[in-house]
Amino acid sequence: MKVLVIMGSPRKGNTYGAAEQIREIMQSFCDIEWEYLMLGDYDLSQCRGCFVCFDKGEEHCPIKDRAPEIEQRMLDADGVIFASPVYGMNVSGLMKTFVDRFAYIFHRPRFFEKKALLLATTGALGLRETLDYLDLVARVWGFDLAGRVGLATPPVTLPPYRQRENERTLQAGAEAFYRALRQSTRSPPGFKDIMIFHGQRASFSELMDLFPVDYAYWKEQGWLEKGAKYFVDVPVNPVYDAIGRLLEWRTRRQVRRDQAEAW
């Protein structure tokens, strides 16, 4: 199995050190191919906000850099670790630029066969905000989330009980990721996943003129078919399904009303 770490720190510091510890734990279980994608080495340009990727397709992005190579590396891996230090209470700028450059994937998700682990390190604060953000990104892009590892790594020597806490967190995260990678099936979607599916389905089917590329993509995947319950064929909790359909109906009604009154 192959793991790709997308490293949002510009240096081989605390976050890299934590990823290395996860690697050592996981490689003690079995032979794992391990790669780092140091975002700092890729020097991705900032998104220019032209909307071309949404409107015409990502292949028309005017920025010609190595972004397509990054997407291919994610597609080639079985699992991806999204790793970021907390900078200014959330993900690093490198990580945010990376997410913005792949914003079209929020509309056209594609990583349903991949597992993800989230990793963040902080001096003191912002762990929850950072992990929540990475959670949303990975989830909407289609990843099956195995777990999150949040570590406090202040610039002082941690007392032994805090070091043990970090070690336990690393161990639990590595084990959860390993278990997920060994499973060929996807874990059942949660409430949030089902709401995202129905909310997006309502928008992309109603706004086919505004987002023709998204509409075509959703149609091609079969996600607009009446009986579709989720992006992939997995059991869906019937209560989530019923609430999701209700949300979809309400969203469609709202979008139609907005369109009728605005144009």
Residues interacting with ligand FMN, by CB under 6 A? 9, 11, 13-16, 85-89, 121-126, 153
Of 61 and 127, the one with the shorter C-beta distance to ligand FMN is: 127
Q: Minimum Å distance from CB 237 to ligand FMN?
A: 37
Q: Minimum Å distance from CB 247 to ligand FMN?
A: 34
Closest CA relative to residue 191, chosen from 135, 237, 251: 237
Closest chain position to ligand FMN (CB): 13
Of 49 and 88, the one with the shorter C-beta distance to ligand FMN is: 88
Of 15 and 21, the one with the shorter C-beta distance to ligand FMN is: 15
CA pair distance 80, 177, nearest whole angstrom: 10
Q: Minimum Å distance from CB 38 to ligand FMN?
A: 11
| DSSP string for residues in the chain | -EEEEEE-SSSSSHHHHHHHHHHHHHHHHS--EEEEEEHHHH-PPPP----HHHHT-GGG-S--SSHHHHHHHHHH-SEEEEEEE-BTTBS-HHHHHHHHHTTHHHHS---TT-EEEEEEEESSS-HHHHHHHHHHHHHHHT-EEEEEEEEE--SSPPPHHHHHHHHHHHHHHHHHHHHHHH-SSPPPP-HHHHHHHHHHHHHHHHTTTT-HHHHHHHHHHTTTSTT--SSSS----HHHHHHHHHHHHHHHHHHHHHHHHH-
Q: Minimum Å distance from CB 218 to ligand FMN?
A: 37
Q: Minimum Å distance from CB 256 to ligand FMN?
A: 42
Rg of the chain over Cα atoms, rounded to whole angstroms, equals 20
Of 36 and 87, the one with the shorter C-beta distance to ligand FMN is: 87
CA pair distance 103, 151, nearest whole angstrom: 27
Q: Minimum Å distance from CB 132 to ligand FMN?
A: 15
Of 13 and 235, the one with the shorter C-beta distance to ligand FMN is: 13
CA pair distance 75, 28, nearest whole angstrom: 25
Of 88 and 160, the one with the shorter C-beta distance to ligand FMN is: 88
Q: Minimum Å distance from CB 63 to ligand FMN?
A: 25
Of 130 and 200, the one with the shorter C-beta distance to ligand FMN is: 130
Is there a contact between 31 and 131 (Cβ–Cβ < 8 Å)?
no
Of 89 and 242, the one with the shorter C-beta distance to ligand FMN is: 89
Q: Minimum Å distance from CB 213 to ligand FMN?
A: 36
